[in-house]
Amino acid sequence: MLIHVPAVLTPDQIATVRATLDAGRWIDGRGSAGHMAAAAKDNQEADLTDPSVRAQSDLILRALSSHARFGAAALPARICPPSFNRYTGGQNYGTHNDAALLCFPDAAAPRWVRTDLAVTLFLSAPGDYDGGELVIEDTFGPVRVKLPAGDMVVYPASSQHRVEPVTRGARVASFIWLQSLVRDDSHRRLLHELDTTIMRLNQAMPDSKDVAQLLGLYHNLLRMWSDT
């Protein structure tokens, strides 16, 4: 399931994040990739140990945590600290798979996150660069994603994906992995469709006992399919 979530950040927030990133240090992105992915990877990443960069990561985490539509679709259990990457001068990231498990040793105790979902939050306007599409291999074929600054795409981290070469300008984005309360993508999809249907029905028929019963069904499925 691919979900486009528009306007996650306001234009002011994007300007703040970009000003900090543009003034900060960028490091070779290959350092954070596994052996095989590193061979396909050519980009830069912001230095998350820099407190000013970490503050922007925290800003995005807060925006995600309070976003109702994202929460309903992703059902996040654990969200990795948002990171930032930049592609310029022909840089790209060839077709690869993301690691299934990530560990964050800087937490009080090492914390594992199973990467159920990947998120790309675009921080450059599409007109500011050529190329740089995120291409996700879906069951229906490849999907090419290039969104306005402040919008994000949520997709299964289990899919193969790539970033096309950026042939003009700079593509800056935040990338995020998360573990969902619901591990199975097809279960998560059914829950999301049921949830959005119930919301629509509830607007058309407030106080309906049938809608309340459907909501009970949603929660019973969530109880059956979730782990915490």
- Min dist CB 48 to Ni ion, Å, is 17
User: Between 57 and 211, whose beta carbon lies closer to Ni ion?
Assistant: 57
Give burial (CB, 10 Å; 0-12/13-18/19+) of 216.
exposed
User: Which residue's Cβ has the minimum distance to Ni ion?
Assistant: 98
Establish if 42 lies at the interface with Ni ion (CB under 5 A).
Answer: no
**Stretch near Ni ion under the rule CB under 5 A, chosen from 38-46, 57-65, 93-101, 140-148:** 93-101
d(CA 94, CA 194): 36
- Min dist CB 183 to Ni ion, Å, is 19
Establish if 98 lies at the interface with Ni ion (CB under 5 A).
Answer: yes
Binding mask 48-87 for Ni ion (x = CB under 5 A): ----------------------------------------
- Min dist CB 45 to Ni ion, Å, is 12
| Nearest 10 degrees: Cα torsion 161, 163, 165, 167 | 150
Task: Count other Cβ atoms within 10 Å, centred on residue 220.
Answer: 10
**Stretch near Ni ion under the rule CB under 5 A, chosen from 15-23, 76-84, 95-103, 141-149:** 95-103
**Stretch near Ni ion under the rule CB under 5 A, chosen from 70-78, 92-100, 104-112, 133-141:** 92-100
Residues that bind Ni ion (rule: CB under 5 A) add up to a total of: 1
User: Between 16 and 142, whose beta carbon lies closer to Ni ion?
Assistant: 142
Q: Are 96 and 160 in contact (CB under 8 A)?
A: yes
Tell me which H or E stretch contains 189.
helix 185-204
d(CA 222, CA 75): 10
d(CA 92, CA 169): 13
Q: How far is CA 226 from CA 74, 187, 196, in A?
A: 12, 9, 18
User: Between 35 and 223, whose beta carbon lies closer to Ni ion?
Assistant: 35
The separation between CA 162 and the C-alpha centre of its own chain, rounded to angstroms, equals 14
Query: At 105, is the secondary structure helix, strand, or coil?
Result: coil
Establish if 133 lies at the interface with Ni ion (CB under 5 A).
Answer: no
User: Between 14 and 163, whose beta carbon lies closer to Ni ion?
Assistant: 163
Residues that bind Ni ion (CB under 5 A): 98
